[in-house]
Every structure is written in C-alpha cells, then in structure tokens.
Amino acid sequence: MRHAFIAASTLSLLLAGPVCAKTPEQVAAAALAASPVFDGHNDVPEQLRDRRKNMLAGFDFNDTTGTADPAKGAAAMHTDLKRLKAGKVGAQFWSVYVSANLPEPQAVQATLEQIDVMKRLIARHPGQLQFCTDSACVEGAWKQGRIASLLGMEGGHSIGGSLAVLRQMHALGARYMTLTHFKNLAWAESATDAPMAQGLTPFGKDVVREMQRLGMLVDLAHVSEKTMLDVVAVAKAPVIVSHSNARVVNHHPRNVPDSALDAIKANGGIVMVNFYPAYVVEDTRQWGSRRAGEEARLKSLNAGNPDAVKAGMAAWDKANPLPIGSIADVAAHIDHIARRIGVDHVGLGGDMDGIENTVQGMEDVSKYPALFVELARRGYSQADLEKIASRNLLRVMKGAEAYAKAHAGDAPIENPTTF
C-alpha cells in the first residue's frame, strides 16, 4: 500500500506539470507591485533652491534628464515623475534641507521657503503627487495611483532652538526632523563635528519628547553614536535613520554602529540605506582620505602657487580614479543590518539629488527595481522585500502616530524665548 501511495502521488505531480520557482526578477516585481518603494530621503527641494532660486516657472518635473549644466559643474537631476514611476516609488519623504552654515534665524526662514516650494511643486502635479502627513494618506495615495509626498526637515538648526518653531513646522506638514546635519548644535552632537560632552543636552531630550508628542519622526541620520544612544534612551515611539548605512561595512562616522543598531531594534525603529559611494564603499571613503592628504601635501609644497596644486591634483585624479561601487555594495549593508537586527528594521533612503554621484546601477530614482532583484538573488523572500520597500516605514509611522494619539492631551513642552 505504501508503494501504491508513492506511485499515485508521483503520477499526480507528473500530471500537474513541473513546479516552477519564481525568478529573482519575478519575486522583485511581485514585491514592488504589492508594496511600492517608500523612500526616506530625496533632495529635490535643495536642487530647486540651488539651481532655480525656488522659481518653478519653466521647470518640467515630468522629465529632468536635460538639467545638466556643465559650465556650473552640475549634473542632471536624479529625480522626475517619469523615473519615479519607472522606479516603482509610491511614497517619498522630500527633504526640506537648508545649509547648517546659515545663522539659525535665517535657517528657519529658508526652511519655510523650502516647505513652500515643495508644496507648490506637489500642487502642480495633482494627478501624480499627493501631499501627505500620515500613514493613512500614504496608503490612500497608492490606491489612487499617486506618489505620496511627505516633508522631512534635515537638521535641527531649522527650528532655531525653539520648540514653538518646531510645533509650527509640524503644523505646516513636516513629519520628521533629522536632529543635526554635519555640524553640532548647542543641544545635539553631530557625527562629523568635534565631540561634545554629551550627545543630547536636557533641551535636546525635550526636543525628542516634543517631536514624539506631536507624532513627528525623530531622525538619527547625521548624528553621533552618543546622540543615537541618548535619543533611543529617551524615545517612547519608534525612530528612523532616514539615509545612513552600516558602519561595520563602511567605517564612515555618518553610518550606524552596531551598538546603535541594537538599540534601534529594541526601540522598534528602522535604518534606511542610501546610495552615496562614500557611505557605501569603504574603498571610496579611503580614496577620499588619500585625496585630501595629497591635496594638503601639494598645498604645503606649492604655497602661493595654486596653479601647481591644481595641475598636481588633476594628475592624481587621473592616476587614481574614484571607486564608486555597485548595487552589490548597497545590498551588503542591507545584509548586515538584516542579519544583525532583522529585516523588519531595514528601509531605503537613497539621498537622490543630495549627492554628486551614486553607486553603479543606482544612478537615479528609476533604478530601485534593480536593487530588489539583487536582494531576491540573495535569498530575500517577497515578504522580506515588501517590508524593505515600504511596510517597515509604514509600521514605524503608525507607531509614532499611535503614540501621539495616546498623548494628545499632554501639554506642549515649553522653552523660553532667547530674544
């Protein structure tokens, strides 16, 4: 009887035909159809400011491939509506970044201008973009075939040391704030500035508390390890790292060390991997250091002769081409984060239009599917890829919104004015 059962089972399988496993391309396509990309950081607003002084007249966001300006050293933009659609991008945090070198009152004004220009750009394309401030709107935009468009502030200098300004930025629609950019603030330590006595000051901790009371995501990109750990110790809702990588893979201080990865897992947060070679590829970071050393050497040897320095650097660049890496290098960061703290805590923050170059294969916003194919080749399931694409960030947003709803009756935290 046993042999008869085996024979019957075999016959039924033969009659049913071969079981075909999905190819990596099919797995990636199915994942992105079910869960489009929700990217954590894109710098189109910065490009509008730098290239056009925030003047939208004559700007065609349907196709920006012709925006290169070689005379000014400006490459073509990475982002437009056509390529967002090709890249299966369903939601985007647009970064309303302004320079951390601005005096804080001026930074506040400039941030308001960046919020305004991005809102105006979204409003110009109602069939393709939808301004959103919560997760329900994101999901609703997808159902209507639109790209959910949210705003994120890059750097606490944008609030000028004022919780009142923070609240007003939230009222205008900002839904995350990166606590620092490349410079320290009086209340928070950056990853790329001189170490402070502490990561977050008492006021910095109040900033985190007030952001979470409002439902605003706390972003740890650009901050130091001390600041990361201080934030997570204070945070009651999930946090994000909107566009950083794993420091074990690339030792740049902008990347997230394992100590912080572990803390972010315990917090329920997410680390969103970006595509900038200096943060992705360790050899690129080392190349930058070697180049800076050569430039310093030439300046020392050729004091008062900048032409000699320029010629020397041109010769060095020719002999030492920039290594930019590939999609596989991006996947290596995702692998490390997923192995260390789980695939539930990984996302994408490409930093498109905020970087001068990308790894090979991720040249613009149309290329996201290629990364998902690479991940599928490495064994990530469709469910894993759906999480990385958008489900993880949606979960984090919903956690922040739930915390804010539970604390809607809490009084705003106050701080005194300074002038």
Which residues are marked as active site? 41, 43, 154, 181, 222, 243, 351
Helix (H) or strand (E) holding 131: strand 129-131
DSSP 20: P
Could you give the CA distance from residue 235 to residue 204 in angstroms, rounded to a whole number? 12
- At which residue do the structure tokens 């070198």 appear? 101
Question: Which stretches of 134-243 are assigned E, i.e. beta strand?
Answer: 147-154, 174-178, 217-219, 240-241
Nearest alpha carbon to residue 128 among 176, 89, 175, 77? 89
DSSP 241: E
SS3 sequence of 350-388: CCECCCCCCCECCCCHHHHHHHHHHHHHCCCCHHHHHHH
> What does the alpha-carbon distance between residue 397 and residue 238 come to, in Å, rounded to a whole number?
8
- Here the tokens at position 296 are 């310093």
Using an 8 Å Cβ cutoff, are 91 and 390 in contact?
yes
Q: Which two tokens stand for residue 94?
A: 């647009």
How far apart are the C-alpha atoms of 143 and 334, rounded to whole Å? 28
Strand ranges for 186-341 from DSSP E: 217-219, 240-241, 270-273
**DSSP code of 390?**
I
Number of alpha helices (DSSP H) and beta strands (DSSP E) in the chain: 17, 9
303-307: which pairs have CB atoms within 8 A and are 24 or more residues apart? none
**What's the rounded Cα separation, in Å, for the pair 219 and 179?**
6
Tokens representing 370? 């290629």
